[in-house]
Amino acid sequence: MATGKVRPRRSKAPVVAVTGAASGAGRLLAARLAEREDIRKVVAIDGHRGDVTGATWRVVDIRDPLLSNRLSDVDVIVNLDVEHSPDVDGKERRTHNVRGAQTVVTAAAAARVRRVVLVTSAMVYGAGPGNEVPLLEDAPLLAEANVSIAGDYLEIEELAATAPLTHPGLEITVVRPAALVGPGVDTVVTRHFEAPRLLSVKGSTPGWQFCHIEDLASALEVIVAEDLPGPVAVGCEGWLGPEEVTEITGKRSFELPAALTFGMAQRLHRLGMTPAPATDLHYVAYPWVVDCARLRAAGWKPGYDNAAALRVVMEETAGRHAVVGRRVGGKEATMATAAGATVAAIGAAAAIRRARKRRR
């Protein structure tokens, strides 16, 4: 007679855990799932308790090795506890994002969770002048594996690819949203629209595609409820061209050669004057539009179009000023506008140096 513990048989309706449930897309997803009759229970996981009603709250850091103890009744876990802010130190951000995803996967396997949904980004496809518009969901991942946020996502994607081999029986679904927008979203892309004028690179036409966090939450709801396999891209239908962006934002663009733009940005990053490496600027200069074929086939439609999503960005960033991803005072930003992109970068660096001297 077997003496080992036998896991209780679960009902057909799944128990779904959502990390990062206290804010942003995690909060929206937990609330949506809590209203569904075909979800037996929603487990909301975060470092602090949020305000989603109808969910069972478990306050824990997703990097805690004891996370598995909090997942014993869970069938599916969706990881939305991801740090995006350009102001967070790169090493700290990577530790949070990659170690967090690793711990979620390991804990899920230990707790015999059936499925893990890892949310990365369409940034993993890379942004380049030769990209097809739109990119297919199964397109190769051409982002650079460096210290950028895209590098974080690539490491999580590698984890997703190897996890089923390391943990047989564990299903992994990767979800890749386009540029995120919405309340509280602060990324290299949203900061691009805080600049007095919008950067463009000679010889390339960007295609702007966004994903509102409400649409990400509704897409994840479909992915969980329908057991949709990945990879799954999420975003508004189609894309915006430069003229449409200018009309919506009211901001003119300035055009510079790629070598000048990225060379200056990389030098400033090495000096610690800008928060993101030059490769992050590729995502505001070149297209990385995705075709959301799997969601479309499942009947999902975004609630926002790209124009409405961009208007959300403009509302959220009103009154803020950024140059090459670094937030600066309004005076420095205005002076930078008059002089063009190179002087803008130098002006931002000078402003930061002055601030450092004042602190000494």
Q: What are phi and psi of 272, to 5 degrees?
A: 80, 15
Q: How is residue 43 written in tokens?
A: 């487990």
Alpha helices for the chain (secondary structure H): 24-34, 90-94, 100-110, 149-166, 188-192, 213-226, 242-249, 258-270, 278-285, 293-297, 306-317, 330-339, 341-359
Q: Confidence band (pLDDT; 50, 70, 90) for 11?
A: low
Distance, CA of 279 to CA of 165 (rounded, Å): 32
Reply yes or no on whether the pLDDT at 322 is more than 90.
Answer: no
Token digits of residue 145: 């594996």
8: left (phi over 0), alpha (psi -120 to 50) or beta: beta
Q: Alpha-carbon distance 114 to 108, whole Å?
A: 8
- What's the rounded Cα separation, in Å, for the pair 141 and 156? 12
pLDDT tens-digit readout, 174-223: 999 999 999 999 998 999 899 888 888 888 888 999 999 999 999 999 99
Q: Per-residue pLDDT averaged across 44-57, rounded?
A: 96
User: What pLDDT sits at residue 110?
Assistant: 97
Backbone angles phi, psi at 357, to 5 degrees: -65, -40
Percent helix, strand, coil in the chain, to 5, is 45, 15, 40
Residues facing 232 on adjacent strands: 175
Nearest to 151 by CA among 99, 98, 109: 98
pLDDT tens string 235-287: 999 999 999 999 999 998 877 776 666 667 667 656 665 666 667 888 988 99
Number of other residues whose CB lies within 10 A of the CB of residue 165: 8
SS (HEC) of 198-241: EEEECCCCCCECEEEHHHHHHHHHHHHHHCCCCCEEECCCCCEC
Mean pLDDT along residues 39-57: 96
66-121 per-position pLDDT tens digit: 999 999 999 999 999 999 988 888 899 999 999 999 999 999 999 999 999 999 99
Residue 32, both tokens: 């949506």
pLDDT bin (cut points 50, 70, 90) of residue 343 is very low
> Could you tell me the two tokens for 141?
């991942």
Question: What would the DSSP string read from start to end of 321-346?
Answer: -EETTEE--HHHHHHHHHH-HHHHHH
C-alpha to C-alpha distance for 84 and 105, rounded to whole angstroms: 20
